[in-house]
Chains A and B, each alone.
Chain A
Amino acid sequence: MGAVVALDALFNGGRVWKGRPAAPPASVHPTGLAALDAVLPTGGWPESALSEILMAKDGVGELQLVLPTLARLSAAGERIVLVAPPYTPYPHAWQNAGVDLRQLTVVRAEERDALWAVEQCLRSGSCGAVLCWPRKADDRALRRLQVAAETGQTLAFAWRALSDALNASPAALRLAVDARPAQVRVLKCRGGLAHPAPIALAGY
């Protein structure tokens, strides 16, 4: 009987790919993009884990991916921390996307301190989501962030350059955002095979 229970846990945890399509369990953190949710094994952002978003250049819709999630988290009273954002968040746009600005905190830091601050925020468990833009992070640094996200049960998002896609990463989910055509590709997702076809991103 114990073996049956263990098998169940294995299947439900999404660690074994069963080979036949089954309805994915409803995720706690849907991305807000139904087409993307459908191809992710967890049906949304992986819980308590680091998600990487890779893009070649700024301004290709990389923020649109997370804004619905941030809006939902901030409405639930969770704190959202932006560590060393590359630009100033424009309150008007964030507010219109549904994010409660009172739950938003910006941390200004240098590159080295930024990683420390991200780890502290993730580990504390008092934040709903931590957003970071590491520029020179190696896989060890990202591994630390991933472990910290697991410890604090917090969503972590990291935006990195598309050139980093060649290097292996400990992140639970890796997405690449392309500008032309506007689409999202799943490079890696823990608990399932990466969906081969790109998903179109709604432009303006």
Chain B
Amino acid sequence: MRWVCIVFPQLALDAVQRMHPTPHEPLALLAGTPQRRVLQTVNAAAHALGLRSGQSLTAAHALVKTFACAEYDPVEIERWQQFLAAWAYQFSSQVSVFYPRALLFEIESSLGLFGPWPRFEARLRKELSELGFRHRIVAAPNPAAARVLANRYDGLAVADDHALMQALAPLPIDRAGLDPQAAIALSRMGLRSLAQVQALPRHTLARRFDAALLKHLDALSGQRPLALGFYQPPDRFDVRIELNYDVQSHQALLFPLRRLTGDLSAFLCGRDSGVQRFALHLEHAQAPDSVIPVGLLSAEREAPMLFELARGRLEQVQVTSPVRGVRLVAQDLPVFVPQRQDLFDDRPQQTLPWAQLRERLRARLGDEAVHGLRFHADHRPECAWQAATDKNPCPTLNNVQRPGWLLAEPTLLAEAGVQILKGPERIESGWWDGADIRRDYYLIQTRAGQQGWAYRTVGQCDGLWLQGWFA
């Protein structure tokens, strides 16, 4: 049991359907020339209405008035297979897309990490169902046998070569992955199951058939290894969802957005990386795309969090024309460092770590909205603070009295009733950068009892300016 094969029997349909918020409506994929459109695949709802694959589009419209159509695109299917390979890359470094609409990967070395096979299989099924792909999973000692057994079985796990022979023996000839011509020839010879073919003397098979037949039989029994090219994950993520209608409100974009961020998260888990910056492209029919950049302070990959952040940014944006498609592009994929979590945390209900909370606040309020505060060694009050966080603890400061609150702009104070409690203290600084000040500061008390910090510019009689409150 070293190889797993996952077959996606409805890959084209699933790839289209998972982008639809309502997957239970009748849907048909169309292929063929523009003159003669043919239904390539139909989903269960469409099948119940009498639509069949192979029907012409005219015949289908005669049967059913309304059903959704989408293009059957082989390139798109190829792309989804690549995406699934990227997903499977988190479980194994040897992932192969050798067979169409199927994934092969080696699991012997992964079992130690992902638990015994039943648990591992359950996890694979759960994640694939969440991604929205129907599947059949088979584990077998060699890749060719796994692929062939997946034609017939789902959930089969073959442990060793002996059991493999028993599992392969009853397979019908036409499901054994043989060349179609060879399969027809064998069935015309009266052979029905794979066991009967394997029982034939090798030299007679070699004389009657192409060399490929014997190679395939040997690959099935594991006597001849199958040469597989392994998958390498790409360095960027770029997926787009085309909406088949014009979207005017951001509510309707949330479903595709949730899919895109979920896919991004699955891709990142596969690569064991995080994302620090990605861009949402909203495609319009007439106008150029609106690009919404989403930036994070640290690399993240949790699907709900990515969705929440992208949603926060999306809700702020005003778009002038209707949206036709959504695209998510992520190029900057740094290494993901999981957050350290303390087992003996003294706050049991710590539901959201600070880093995530900060990202959530930044996503809604803007990048500059959340900042720290640090002391800057300058005597001028305007320059004594900076919106940044210190790395090191602040040195002890001299014990002069300073107000807790600093006004953004000094305001002129009506002097009637103002009582000076202390002062003056002269602050004279800043000759080097042009913002020269020469002021006498006083601790004052207004008639209402407020304590403030006000100054008079030396040499000018323009009144008392309030700059802070001793709160």
A interface residues with partner B (beta carbon < 8 Å): 56-64, 67, 79, 85-97, 100-102, 104-109, 113, 116-117, 120-121, 123-127, 151-153, 178-180, 182, 203-204
Contacts and interface: CB of A to CB of B under 8 A. Distances in A.
Interface string B379-408: 001001101011001100101111111111
Contacts of B399: 96
A102 B402 CA distance: 19
11 contacts: A62-B471, A63-B404, A90-B403, A101-B394, A102-B394, A105-B358, A113-B365, A124-B357, A127-B354, A180-B449, A182-B449
A102 B354 contact: no
B8 interface: no
A90 B468 contact: yes
B406 to A, nearest CB: 4
A79 B384 CA distance: 22
Nearest to A87: B405
B451 A59 contact: yes
A121 B452 contact: no
Contacts of B446: 59
Nearest to A116: B364
B372 A101 contact: yes
B405 A63 contact: yes
A59 B471 CA distance: 4
Which are the 7 A-B pairs with shortest beta-carbon distances?
Answer: A179-B449, A59-B469, A59-B450, A87-B405, A124-B352, A63-B471, A91-B375
Contacts of A125: 347, 349-352
A94 B356 CA distance: 27
A104 B373 contact: yes
Given A94-B404, A124-B354, A64 B397 contact: no
A60 B353 contact: no
Contact of B385 (A59, A88, A97, A152): A88
A57 B357 contact: no
Given A87-B469, A90-B468, A106 B373 contact: yes
Given A95-B375, A101-B372, A113 B406 contact: no
Contacts of A62: 471
Given A91-B384, A92-B384, A182-B449, A153 B373 contact: no
B425 to A, nearest CB: 13
Given A64-B471, A123-B352, A126-B352, A56 B448 contact: yes
Contacts of B324: none
Nearest to A117: B361
A44 B407 CA distance: 31
A143 to B, nearest CB: 20
Nearest to B371: A106
B377 to A, nearest CB: 10
Given A104-B372, A117-B365, A125-B349, A93 B448 contact: no
B442 to A, nearest CB: 13
A185 to B, nearest CB: 15
A93 B370 contact: no
Contacts of A58: 405, 450, 469, 471
A123 B370 contact: no
B393 to A, nearest CB: 7
Nearest to A67: B404
Contacts of B356: 124
B470 interface: yes
Contacts of B351: 123-125, 152
Residue among B349, B351, B449 with the highest chain A CB neighbour number at 10 A: B449
B63 interface: no
A203 B375 CA distance: 25
A180 B375 CA distance: 33
A156 B342 CA distance: 25
A126 B350 contact: yes
Nearest to A61: B471
A126 B400 CA distance: 34
A61 B354 contact: no
Given A59-B450, A60-B471, A179-B450, A126 B353 contact: yes
A102 B384 contact: no
Nearest to B468: A90
A151 B349 CA distance: 8
Contacts of B296: none
A120 B450 contact: no
A76 to B, nearest CB: 10
B375 A108 contact: no
Interface in B359-376: 360-361, 364-365, 368-376
